[in-house]
């Protein structure tokens, strides 16, 4: 598929999706949301893809938010549709069957922080900046920021960021748990790709089961989450990959997982 606002490339099982609107600091307009949805659906349905990396084109921005020109035209009815559209894309990313790594190379503000939070793991360039500055425009986060941010960093810090509307640097983002790791800008994609390859060396069914157990478990009680975990564990135990992994461990050799 030909894209205008994103690039999509698959190499050795790793799909790299890059938001490519550098003149707009990779802001998320309606067309870009649609193209991102298509790209992620392609990656999730491609058996050759094991892990997805999401990043931004250029050196300045990962995603510098939603398109403010579009926000300026919203009203009661269109505002809700706008929020639901973005939430649907982020739900797709977060609940997809394959791990998604955000390689945050620059400004990740508003919708940029929100889409990064929908990814399963976040690696940030030392130059990255995060924030939910929507209150400065007279609105609030609409793509999941009021829900995912408290779950990641706690209610107090989340409210400080959402109500204050300030930016924070990559080191602070890492300290509060918003980011997994901070690296030098020139090492960002190398680090993200190395992590992708590490994940791809594990049992692919086990990876999918773990993703599902964590995502579903976070939406319910501990007791229900433990039941979900037991179900996913049982599913993994029924696979050829489990037989291969345990046999390889006992034989002190490297496993050769087949995804069966």
Q: Is the pLDDT of residue 134 over 70?
A: yes
Known active-site residue 134: yes
> Which residue out of 9, 114, 160, 256 is catalytically annotated?
114
Locate CATH 1.10.12.10 in the chain: 204-251
Q: Name, in order, each residue with C-beta under 8 angstroms of 82's C-beta and a sequence gap of 6 or more.
A: 66, 70, 71, 74, 142
Query: CA 157, CA 154: separation in Å to the nearest integer?
Result: 6
- Per-residue confidence (pLDDT) for residue 67, from 0 to 100: 80
Q: Is the pLDDT of residue 69 over 90?
A: no
> Which residue out of 35, 37, 70, 134 is catalytically annotated?
134
Q: For residue range 237-257, what is the model confidence (pLDDT) as tens digits?
A: 999 999 999 999 999 999 999
Domain 6-200 is found in CATH 3.90.226.10:
yes
Known active-site residue 59: no
In this structure, how many other beta carbons lie within 10 angstroms of the beta carbon of residue 97? 12
Report in angstroms the alpha-carbon separations of 81 from 26, 71, 86: 21, 11, 9
**DSSP β-ladder status, 100-104 and 51-56:** parallel
- Per-residue confidence (pLDDT) for residue 68, from 0 to 100: 85
- Per-residue confidence (pLDDT) for residue 1, from 0 to 100: 67
Q: For residue range 217-242, what is the model confidence (pLDDT) as tens digits?
A: 999 999 999 999 999 999 999 999 99
Locate CATH 3.90.226.10 in the chain: 6-200
Q: Name, in order, each residue with C-beta under 8 angstroms of 166's C-beta and a sequence gap of 6 or more.
A: 131, 133
From 1.20.120.450, 3.40.250.10, 1.20.1440.230, 1.10.12.10, which CATH number describes the 204-251 domain? Answer: 1.10.12.10
Closest C-alpha among 182, 190, 63 to residue 116 = 63
pTM of the predicted model over 0.85:
yes
Listed in sequence order, the DSSP H helices in 165-203 are: 170-175, 188-200
Q: Give Cα 229 distance to the centre of its chain.
A: 22
């Amino acid at each position: 598929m030909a894209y205008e606002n994103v690039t999509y490339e698959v190499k050795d099982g790793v799909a790299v999706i890059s938001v490519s609107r550098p003149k707009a600091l990779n802001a998320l307009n309606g067309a870009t949301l649609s193209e991102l949805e298509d790209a992620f659906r392609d990656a999730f349905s491609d058996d050759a893809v094991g892990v997805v990396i999401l990043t931004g084109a250029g050196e300045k921005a990962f995603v510098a938010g939603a398109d403010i020109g579009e926000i300026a035209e919203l009203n009661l009815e269109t505002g809700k549709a706008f929020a639901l559209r973005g939430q649907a894309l982020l739900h797709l990313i977060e609940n997809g069957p394959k791990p998604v790594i955000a390689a945050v190379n620059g400004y990740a503000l508003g919708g940029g922080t929100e889409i990064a939070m929908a990814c399963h793991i976040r690696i940030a360039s030392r130059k990255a900046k995060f924030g939910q500055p929507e209150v400065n425009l007279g609105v609030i986060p609409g793509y999941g920021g009021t829900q995912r941010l408290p779950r990641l960093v706690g209610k107090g810090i989340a409210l400080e960021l959402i109500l204050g509307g300030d930016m924070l640097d990559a080191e602070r983002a890492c300290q509060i748990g918003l980011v997994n790791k901070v690296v030098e800008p020139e090492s960002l994609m190398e680090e993200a790709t190395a992590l992708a390859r590490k994940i791809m060396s594990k049992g692919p069914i086990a990876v999918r089961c773990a993703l599902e157990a964590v995502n579903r478990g976070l939406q319910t009680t501990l007791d229900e989450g433990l039941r979900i975990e037991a179900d996913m564990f049982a599913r993994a135990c029924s696979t050829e990959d489990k037989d291969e992994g345990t046999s390889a461990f006992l034989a002190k050799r490297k496993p050769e997982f087949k995804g069966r």
